[in-house]
């Protein structure tokens, strides 16, 4: 039987923490950002890890900290350069917030990283999880860092049936962890996440090699595969989109996306939602406001891109135009900046993956 109330027992939590730390010191993965307690490096790695697998982010992490070795280097870099180094990681708001927060630390804290949780979570892009991770790992502050891994481990360890998508349940688990934190808060928080990533995995947890097996309630009750309880997220909305690629002798027409919303402020190919009754009409009519003599064009392929709340099913239309038509085009696309970019210029632009993968269709 699972429990619907999460109780805290001091002695059980003490043994849990002891087992966890012993296991973590022996079994942790050697990751580049674990070689340092520098809050800047921990911050970059934690932000990158939010929506990205560890193996994928490692080369990005190396490139990023090589280009921007400290807060000041990041704060004083042009945004284009920051976004370019983020290209391929997706969720660009993370990179923009890193840049904004670096500027605040540079200007308001003389480039010195705030050394406590309450100040950290006031910075753009740093929420309770990231603030907890930085504060505990870099500054040994006894604060929890609760991610999906931790919710799962604690829910199973306590055989607790609370829905981990529910804020009240998250709060109960956060309180449990906060009380369980021993004198090595950073190692404890990292150990919890590592246990969730390597042993107490979402499916088929490896209980036989788990350091907590002897005192794990879900293991005792045979409930490991039933927990945690998590109510389903709303399904992503599917949108049929039309993309227009305009090619002028190898240079492609890019437009800057609006400052708010999906992929805000980034360069993209013109894109618009399809008119259900007349496929191809929406993109063609929109492009004709800039290129009145636009030729017919052709469909060169389809592509799907999945964001957290939306799925774009894109039909890609290709138009070849001559330099005269390009020269007559205004520099604006509606209210947005627009420009032709040759392949070299294109390589210097942070083109989101949703669009860069369309280059393979050309």
Residues that bind ligand SF4 (CB under 6 A): 153, 156-157, 199-200, 205-207, 210, 212-213, 216, 218-219, 224
Active site residue 46: yes
Cα separation values, 28 from 51, 63, 199, Å: 21, 23, 11
We find the least distance from the C-beta atom of residue 224 to ligand SF4, in angstroms, to be 4
Give the angle subtended at the CA of 122 by the CAs of 121 and 126, to the nearest 5°: 45
Question: Cβ closer to ligand SF4: 18 or 320?
Answer: 18
Q: One of 11, 18, 35, 46 is an active-site residue; which one? A: 46
Give the number of other CB atoms < 10 A from CB of residue 310. Answer: 13
Give the HSE-up count for residue 145: Cα atoms under 13 Å, Cβ half-sphere.
31
CB-based contact 182:27 (threshold 8 Å)? no
User: 313 — phi, psi (to 5°)?
Assistant: -100, 110
We find the least distance from the C-beta atom of residue 193 to ligand SF4, in angstroms, to be 13
We find the least distance from the C-beta atom of residue 196 to ligand SF4, in angstroms, to be 8
- DSSP-derived letter for residue 239 is E
We find the least distance from the C-beta atom of residue 239 to ligand SF4, in angstroms, to be 39
Question: Cβ closer to ligand SF4: 131 or 205?
Answer: 205
Nearest to 57 by CA among 47, 48, 46: 48
User: 158 — phi, psi (to 5°)?
Assistant: -95, 5
Question: Cβ closer to ligand SF4: 179 or 281?
Answer: 179
Question: Cβ closer to ligand SF4: 14 or 288?
Answer: 14
- DSSP-derived letter for residue 267 is E
We find the least distance from the C-beta atom of residue 208 to ligand SF4, in angstroms, to be 8
Question: Cβ closer to ligand SF4: 21 or 126?
Answer: 21
Does residue 240 have a cis bond before it (omega within 30 degrees)? no
**Which residues are tagged catalytic?**
46
């Amino acid at each position: 039987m699972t429990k619907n109330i999460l109780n805290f027992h001091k002695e059980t939590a003490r043994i849990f923490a002891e087992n966890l730390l012993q296991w973590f010191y022996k079994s942790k993965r050697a990751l580049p950002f674990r070689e340092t307690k520098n809050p800047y490096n921990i911050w970059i790695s934690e932000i990158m890890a939010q929506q990205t697998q560890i193996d994928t982010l490692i080369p990005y992490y190396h490139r990023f900290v090589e280009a921007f070795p400290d807060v000041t280097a990041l704060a004083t870099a042009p945004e284009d350069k920051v976004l370019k180094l983020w290209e391929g990681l997706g969720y660009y708001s993370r990179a923009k917030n890193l840049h904004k927060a670096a500027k605040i630390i540079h200007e308001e804290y003389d480039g010195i990283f705030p050394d406590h949780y309450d100040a950290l979570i006031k910075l753009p892009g740093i929420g309770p999880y990231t603030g907890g991770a930085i504060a505990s790992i870099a500054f040994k502050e006894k604060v929890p860092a609760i991610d999906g891994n931790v919710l799962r481990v604690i829910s199973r360890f306590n055989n607790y049936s609370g829905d981990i998508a529910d804020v009240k349940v998250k709060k109960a688990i956060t309180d449990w962890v906060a009380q369980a934190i021993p004198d090595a808060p950073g190692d404890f928080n990292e150990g919890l996440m590592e246990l969730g990533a390597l042993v107490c995995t979402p499916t088929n947890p490896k209980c036989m090699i788990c350091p907590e097996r002897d005192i794990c309630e879900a293991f005792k009750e045979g409930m490991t595969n039933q927990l945690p309880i998590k109510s389903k997220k709303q399904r992503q909305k599917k949108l049929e989109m039309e993309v227009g690629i305009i090619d002028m002798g190898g240079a492609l027409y890019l437009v800057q996306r609006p400052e708010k919303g999906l992929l805000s402020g980034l360069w993209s190919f013109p894109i618009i939602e399809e008119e259900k009754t007349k496929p191809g009409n929406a993109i063609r009519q929109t492009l004709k406001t800039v290129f009145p003599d636009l030729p017919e064009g052709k469909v060169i392929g389809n592509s799907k891109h999945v964001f957290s709340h939306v799925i774009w099913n894109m039909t890609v239309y290709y138009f070849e135009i001559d330099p005269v038509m390009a020269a007559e085009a205004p520099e604006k696309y509606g209210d947005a900046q627009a420009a032709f970019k040759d392949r070299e210029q294109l390589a210097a632009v942070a083109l989101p993956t949703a669009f860069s993968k369309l280059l393979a269709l050309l």
